[in-house]
Structure 1
Amino acid sequence: MSALPTRTLPMGDRAILVEVEGLDAVLALHARLVAEPPPGVIDLVPAARTVLITVDPAVLSLSRARAWVTDAATAASAEQAAAPAEVELDIRYDGADLEDTAELLGMTAAELAGRHAHATWTVAFTGFAPGFGYLVSEDWPFDVPRLATPRTRVPAGAVGVAGVFSGAYPRETPGGWRLLGTTDEPLFDPARPSPALLAPGMRVRFRTLAGEERTLAGRERTLAGEERTLAGEERTLAGGAGALRVEEPGLLATVQDRGRPGSAALGIARSGAMDRRALGAANRLVGNPQGAAAIEITLGGFRAVALADMLFAVTGGGGPLRLAGRDIDPYAAHRWPAGAELEVGWIERGARAILALRGGVEGLLVRGSRATDILSGLGPAPLAAGDLVEVGPVPAAPVPPSPDAAWGAPDGDDLEIDLAPGPRADWFTADARATLFEATWVVSGAADRVGIRLDGPSLARARDDELPSEGMVPGALQVPPSGRPTILGPDAPVTGGYPVIAVVTDAALDALAQARPGSRIRFRHARVRS
């Protein structure tokens, strides 16, 4: 019995990328892997020619994961594929690019709409945004170029084509696909047990609706549960009485916990606190579970007033910290009397501070997490002046004694970051691979929770062909045509089309979270356990 031909590539110290011959093999292998995952598997992300497998190495080593893939490839080649689930999407062919795309392909708009509607589509993989499915079809022979200038706004429900793919936008987002029509189907609803309507391997058919046409610009939808209204000038995250009122959020303040691992196949990023050590430390200081939701403050400038007596701690990046106008220490639990103002001043060392409140921050729960994903819009919105933040019930665990000495803020100005191998290192020249570790890289102004763009020498490619989209992990160093890498953050899309030369180790991600614009980074080779 012959196995599906596979090639296993490294993706950092917690994942492998399995490359196969094409989409049919991807779907067969992914179906087999999903059917019987061993303990320790966190995510399985199919893409155009690969399946990304993310593991907890404390439970499942990378070598055992590779052996599991080998067994699954053998079984997948012998199995008859089960009949896939099917879904019908009602569509109006009223897209802004329908006429131009038809002319580009040498047919009328009616002919193009008919070809699109009569094709049987398969969800190859998801990504770009939660619930966005990349659809392929043997009935669709066209390779359609993307728009030369992407739109800054594509409304939810827009159905478009790009390359060999078709897809429908679950929410308003920028995009460069050519828009053929619109659908009213709720493509992504966080309140559903399976929030994404389209899942890898599913069959999709479009059903043409007759009746009055509408324009894309005339309709806007947002994710179910995401839309929020302002009551006066105040919002309460969980709908009850607030424990504190935000006076100034600073540059960016969001609710974060340990994030949403295990949902990447639905296009949902992990998200969560960038500095997980700081989150755990702050929660320990106030007696919370280590993964309780807290407030992540980027570069400081945060002020809030307590509406009830509370206990809090601030960890992570260091700067002025004042309660009721008096300086206080970080990395210690403090009483916060009702009516007093807490100020987390502009951070001088590092980039991000964590404010933990005893009881944890309450808020919108999506896929088991309260984390704010700034790219997809999942979770609570970033905090704004006037917001009321609620805390949960006081935990049973006591508040531990304060440490004898302050733990100290991280220094984010000069960082040494460990890199594990990436799957596409061979796409770069030997000189580029050496330069990655020899150069001093500088964090650019384009650095946030989605990604950190680095300034430095250009990394030359050994090959220039286009890479089909494949699964990504936080810490992946994607290298765009400019040659300067971007390190993906916790809110980055779960798939991407730029080659990954290396991956920041999981342990080094917390230090990287404290990098700020102007920080200098030197990379070093990590020892990766197989």
Structure 2
Amino acid sequence: MSGTQAPGAATPRPIRAVGTQAFLVECASLADVMAVHAHLVAHPERGQRQVLSAARTVLVTFTSQAAAQHAAPRVAALDPDAQDRDAGRTVEIPVVYDGEDVAEVGRLTGLSPEAVVRAHVETDWFAAFGGFAPGFLYCAAEAPPFDVPRRDSPRTAVPAGAVAVAGQLSAVYPRTSPGGWQLLGHTDAVMWDLGRERPALLEPGDRVRYVPVRAEAVRGAAPAAEAPAEDTLVAAHTPDAGEASAPGLTVADPGLFTLLQDLGRPGLGDLGVVASGAADRDAARQANRLVGNASGEAVLETVLGGLALTARGDQVLALAGAEATGVVTGPGGVARPVSPRTPFPLLDGETLTVQEPTAGLRVYVGVRGGLEAPRTLGSRATDTLSGLGPAPLTAGQALARRADLDAPRAGVVPVGDPEAPLRPMPAPGGTAVLRVVPGPRDDWFGPAGLERLTAQEWAVSQQTDRIGVRLTAGEAGPLERIRTGELASEGAVRGALQVPPSGEPVLFLADHPVTGGYPVIGVVARADLGLAAQLPPGARVRFVLHPQPSQEPTA
């Protein structure tokens, strides 16, 4: 394949393992990052799942460890095709330069406000990499017009459409959010719209032109809109008569926190969208398997029990994940228990209540036929960080069953037999053992850091959600860096142990940020990610090292 390798032409790029099925490619410059990214998008390696550019690295993920091992030396020696680098579009963004920080940027750079605007307009920008939020693209330039620090005190709310700069980069905020960038102006261009065939106005590799417009030309126009309604959690609604009578379930009590989840929306990291999906994917698959569904059907993910569901028509359900039983109560008040990992009927008018787990954190409820909900970017999953997908369940909400079980269907699978637990579940006060692959930034902590990581037990704090699990140090104390300075943001994966300045790791789960700016000392092995998602507050964790995958090609 043209441009695949250039043997001996240049020193191979350093490759750093990220878990067992991904690696970071360290590039000599942002231009090299963009060239490698463009080439891998145009000419994917065997088994390549996603390629994600960042400031100085490219994260490449694969469907298997063997595929990652095969690709690593090839990507290290890659000589990108020049034509791939010029494949992006040119996108014009109209800007009213009325930002609050134009004068401050001038003070920091020694330019007049007019010269700041002129420099921003006349620069040839290109969309380099995504992150932070769907539609937020970091724009760089071969000759950056200025290098300015972020504000000392970030704003709690930067308006949607704000055009801003920080460091040598420029960007447009796609939605109202906190931020510390310096504001130069605003645009009415919608950066993220799920109603478009390509939701993101900018994608990596696009050339960007900021076009100045007079404020008078847009006076009276509506301000830049928040992300469209489809880009926010879809609020629950009171069912109408038709919905309320259709086969399915009605939420009698949503419990502590219950979401609709499936296997997520992988491959969209370049747009700032993480895969999301069920936190414990193995348990979600088991719940579907027990009721005879395909693995990708939507299930309910509920935390710590309390969820109560009333059947509309006769249904078949199953519980998986955390060790939790259920109680089914009939209209006459007669109750019967139901066991986990065993399919059971929920007849018309009966109510299932999920009990508090004795171990584990998240219970998955599978419903034969699946659950209906609008798809967002191909998935019914709720992403709590990006705000994509259905909103958390509310009392009175109607959940429609997706399949008509009375209609003939191809490939109907019988309801499954009872199954054994997937794994022992962690309990508050108990200790779970997680295997961790060192890197990609274990050199920021050295051998002593890995020793401290594995020599002590870490406590699961109350700061635990679908984004990540914050761990608190034991007697050995927090991790200590042996390197100074800051790490440029780079792609992140589920299971990453990111270490902020406090030295206490954060274990990334399903809704983790697409990129992160703190060093990752290790990545939890793929086989243990379900266990990591079941860690309740008060549990303890011990890490054991799992060998890094070889970078040698496989047969």
Provide the TM-score with structure 2 as the length reference: 0.88
Matches within 5 A, 1:303-314: 303-314=308-319
* 1:155-209 Cα shifts (integer Å, max 9, x gaps): 3222211221111112232222222222222212234332222111211011122
Find 1:280's aligned residue among 268, 281, 285: 285
**Change over 3 Å in CA distance of 1:341–1:68 after alignment to 2:** same
Matches within 5 A, 1:25-174: 25-57=32-64, 60-71=66-77, 73-76=78-81, 81-82=85-86, 84-174=88-178
**Change over 3 Å in CA distance of 1:91–1:65 after alignment to 2:** same
Identity of aligned residues (%): 42
- Determine whether 1:518 maps to 2:522: no
CA contact (8 A) 1:92 1:208 kept: yes
In structure 1, the residue matched to 2:440 is: 423
CA distance in 1, matches of 2:185, 2:107: 16
Corresponding residue SS for 2:541: strand
- Determine whether 1:332 maps to 2:342: yes
Find 2:461's aligned residue among 420, 440, 444: 444
Matches within 5 A, 1:392-407: 392-393=402-403, 394=405, 396-403=411-418
In structure 2, the residue matched to 1:253 is: 258
Corresponding residue SS for 1:502: strand
Letter in 2 for 1:64: H
How far the C-alpha of 1:139 sits from its partner, in A, is 4.5
CA distance in 2, matches of 1:232, 1:470: 39
In structure 1, the residue matched to 2:371 is: 361
* 1:46-72 Cα shifts (integer Å, max 9, x gaps): 1111111100116x432211133145x
CA distance in 2, matches of 1:339, 1:289: 26
Corresponding residue SS for 1:201: coil
Corresponding residue SS for 1:61: helix
CA contact (8 A) 1:155 1:217 kept: no
Q: Supply the RMSD in Å over aligned alpha carbons.
A: 2.7
Corresponding residue SS for 1:206: strand
How far the C-alpha of 1:445 sits from its partner, in A, is 1.2
Corresponding residue SS for 2:153: coil
Corresponding residue SS for 2:211: strand
Letter in 2 for 1:509: L
Letter in 2 for 1:384: T
In structure 2, the residue matched to 1:470 is: 490
Q: How many residues are aligned here?
A: 526
**Change over 3 Å in CA distance of 1:109–1:247 after alignment to 2:** farther
CA distance in 1, matches of 2:481, 2:79: 34
**Change over 3 Å in CA distance of 1:233–1:105 after alignment to 2:** farther
**Change over 3 Å in CA distance of 1:379–1:390 after alignment to 2:** same
* 1:427-466 Cα shifts (integer Å, max 9, x gaps): 1133212100111001111111111111002111111111
CA contact (8 A) 1:115 1:140 kept: no
CA contact (8 A) 2:257 2:303 kept: yes
- Determine whether 1:200 maps to 2:204: yes
**Change over 3 Å in CA distance of 1:348–1:136 after alignment to 2:** same
CA contact (8 A) 2:300 2:365 kept: yes
Letter in 2 for 1:249: P
- Determine whether 1:345 maps to 2:355: yes
Matches within 5 A, 1:217-232: 220-226=225-231
CA distance in 2, matches of 1:64, 1:286: 38
* 1:29-61 Cα shifts (integer Å, max 9, x gaps): 111111211331101001111111100116x43
Corresponding residue SS for 1:147: coil
Corresponding residue SS for 2:139: strand
Find 2:451's aligned residue among 434, 443, 447: 434
- The more displaced of 163-172 and 80-89 is 80-89
**Change over 3 Å in CA distance of 1:176–1:80 after alignment to 2:** closer
In structure 2, the residue matched to 1:374 is: 384
**Change over 3 Å in CA distance of 1:143–1:299 after alignment to 2:** farther
Letter in 2 for 1:109: P
Unaligned segments of structure 2, at least 5 residues: 1-5, 330-334, 551-555
Corresponding residue SS for 2:356: coil
**Change over 3 Å in CA distance of 1:405–1:523 after alignment to 2:** closer
How far the C-alpha of 1:267 sits from its partner, in A, is 1.5
CA distance in 1, matches of 2:41, 2:466: 29
- The more displaced of 501-510 and 102-111 is 102-111
- The more displaced of 27-36 and 135-144 is 135-144
Corresponding residue SS for 2:189: coil
How far the C-alpha of 1:364 sits from its partner, in A, is 2.2
CA distance in 1, matches of 2:175, 2:186: 12
Provide the TM-score with structure 1 as the length reference: 0.92
In structure 2, the residue matched to 1:271 is: 276
**Change over 3 Å in CA distance of 1:229–1:503 after alignment to 2:** closer
CA contact (8 A) 1:240 1:390 kept: no
CA contact (8 A) 1:271 1:373 kept: yes
CA distance in 1, matches of 2:253, 2:387: 21
* 1:297-349 Cα shifts (integer Å, max 9, x gaps): 12222122222321111111123411114321111111112222221133331
How far the C-alpha of 1:408 sits from its partner, in A, is 8.1
CA distance in 2, matches of 1:248, 1:65: 49
**Change over 3 Å in CA distance of 1:7–1:424 after alignment to 2:** same
Corresponding residue SS for 1:521: strand
CA contact (8 A) 1:187 1:196 kept: yes
